[in-house]
Structure 1
């Protein structure tokens, strides 16, 4: 279970505290178990600073706390603060990254479910799709529905996400796909062949919808499997 520790303190030396955190990151390189650290300053009280540190588990947090560098940094942290910092230990009971969930829903409904109308619900009205295998120019929402609809009808692809990473408003995914060429596609008669491949895509999310996407997948490999291109 993911574990989060919240360190709450007051200090007049925020810059020095930031430098101390840089020192800790460098000193514990290769041994620290923390996966994410945030230092935040209260907008209404500049002396009120909160640090949030995430660990894979409580046990990993305890292992991190036993590092000699962690003890040294803590003593220097106390010296910078106006009084003893307070600690809150939290077991994470829900961690829902909403942009990730939105992109997963896109693949479940639009790609694997072949519901092109779901694009209207999941994507912004001014959605733009960048996929050089479909068009040299960005596709708008209607163009994306038409071009991808043709692809879905021809191959009935099934996509598996082998990794998904989110930061800020961007979500990046690695994909494995497989399909069956059962209908004509761009003048290529149905070959009745199976095809597989890999690719990746990046999505930009805004206001709870997908605003833009960039695609890169192995179209050449697909055409070779169909016998259209020589190996």
Structure 2
């Protein structure tokens, strides 16, 4: 039996990396509460494994075959904290900005809650302003 930490590491290697997003159902329950922790507007949406896979495919369309690196992974009981660095090429429109075809780095983190070895809920924070600032700089 895998630990929650091992499950999340595999989830990042297989699904979140964009390698095989269609395998999201291996790691997620049928409905996952996704808390998007943005300072200006915190929202909770319900994601299905298919919806999550589609979300990752959209990321691939914008950032190409991005590289994601786990920088920190901490586990406590049912929760696992993951902080990552994602590097991709801005190859399609993002938030109204046309593609620059230049590298963009995203820093993000999330706390995932697991039950019976599956993700049931997560709280995610991404430095969206930092991504947009890089895009603006790359347009010059």
Query: Which range, TM-score by smaller chain?
Result: 0.7 to 0.9
Match of 2:35 in 1: 130
Q: How far apart, in 1, do the equivalents of 2:2 and 2:107 lie?
A: 25
What is the SS of the residue equivalent to 1:150?
A: helix
Match of 1:35 in 2: none
Q: Deviations over 1:40-61 (max 9, x none)?
A: xxxxxxxxxxxxxxxxxxxxxx
Q: How far apart, in 2, do the equivalents of 1:109 and 1:97 lie?
A: 15
**1:160 Cα deviation (Å)?**
1.0
Question: Could you say if the C-alpha distance between residues 113 and 146 of structure 1 is closer, same or farther in structure 2, counting changes exceeding 3 Å?
Answer: closer
Q: How far apart, in 2, do the equivalents of 1:207 and 1:137 lie?
A: 22
Q: Kindly report which structure 2 residues correspond to 1:94-133, keeping only aligned pairs within 5 A, or say none.
A: 98-132=3-37
Q: Tell which structure's C-alpha radius of gyration is larger.
A: 1
Match of 1:151 in 2: 59
Match of 1:167 in 2: 76
Q: How far apart, in 2, do the equivalents of 1:183 and 1:159 lie?
A: 19
Match of 1:217 in 2: 126
Q: Kindly report which structure 2 residues correspond to 1:16-55, keeping only aligned pairs within 5 A, or say none.
A: none
Q: What root-mean-square deviation, in Å, do the aligned CA atoms of Structure 1 and Structure 2 show?
A: 2.4
Q: How far apart, in 1, do the equivalents of 2:97 and 2:52 lie?
A: 20
**Number of corresponding residues:** 133
8 Å contact kept, 1:151–1:185? no
Normalising by structure 2, we get a TM-score of 0.81
**1:145 Cα deviation (Å)?**
3.0
Q: How far apart, in 2, do the equivalents of 1:143 and 1:97 lie?
A: 25
Match of 1:177 in 2: 86
Normalising by structure 1, we get a TM-score of 0.52
Match of 1:19 in 2: none
Q: Deviations over 1:58-100 (max 9, x none)?
A: xxxxxxxxxxxxxxxxxxxxxxxxxxxxxxxxxxxxxx86101
**1:176 Cα deviation (Å)?**
1.6
Q: How far apart, in 2, do the equivalents of 1:208 and 1:184 lie?
A: 36
Task: Give unmatched runs, 5+ long, in structure 2.
Answer: none
Q: Deviations over 1:191-231 (max 9, x none)?
A: 11211132211100111111111111111100111118xxx
Between 1 and 2, higher relative CO (CA 8 Å, sep ≥ 6) is seen in: 2
